[in-house]
Structure 1
């Protein structure tokens, strides 16, 4: 799990292994992650872009960039939150994810990156 606050935007990431969609014999490990984005500032903000850095257990890095999250670019008033669940396949039983969401302040249209702290993707039996 990770929990990060950037300029009043809190991002909490909670990963979990999905065994029913994984096939270790084929080096396929499937992880879901639940993201909560909460506006703890006193100004509305809008999520515009995402950038993920996914690193497998052998150090191989993949980057994912795009507009919004799961087809949305949510506008969050002060105190509001947006939650979604997505997934990530890996070819190793452990890895990490981190990144940032590109945000815009509603009042000034100033952009900033809300950081997503690293969190571990791990098959429960892979870490003793």
Structure 2
């Protein structure tokens, strides 16, 4: 059986921005965009985006959550795009977490953001 959370679609795009990165100083600049599609026949409120960054050295940190305590409406059958940029200390880092959407006054749906990589070109085969 498919849960309500499983019916939402997430597409994640990442990009390494070489022009502003300084590898000699362990500064790697990345951008990422998360696109969430609301498949439901009703609008939902975005409650929060909670992401954790695990840097290549194992350091874990929370990423900014601009939607906490704000109501952002995602209409039925519409996409919501969230973009952010980040500077890491490693050429390979992992981001993962969850997105929470409110269906109604009593039902919160948690959509898992599976781990995705921020990686410089040619680091991995």
Identify the TM-score tier after normalising by the shorter chain.
0.7 to 0.9
Residue 68 of structure 1 is matched in structure 2 by: 67
CA RMSD of aligned residues (A): 2.0
The corresponding residue for 1:41 is: 40
* Structure 2 spans left out of the alignment, 5+ residues: none
Using the alignment, how far apart are the partners of 1:108 and 1:85 within structure 2? 28
Shift in CA distance, 21/109, structure 1 to aligned 2, threshold 3 Å: farther
Structure 1 segments of 4+ aligned residues over 4 angstroms from their partners? none
TM-score after normalising by structure 1: 0.83
Report how many residues are paired: 121
Q: Deviation digits for residues 62-120 of structure 1, max 9, x if unmatched?
A: 12353418xx7431122011113211111010011011112101x44411221111111
Bigger mean CA offset, 36-45 vs 26-35: 36-45
Q: Who is 1:51 aligned against? A: 50
Can you give the 5+ residue segments of structure 1 that lack an aligned partner in the other structure?
Answer: none
| Secondary structure of 1:43 counterpart | coil
Q: Compare the two structures and name the one with the higher strand fraction.
A: 1
Confirm whether residue 117 of structure 1 aligns to residue 114 of structure 2. yes
Cα distance in 2 for residues equivalent to 1:76 and 1:125: 37
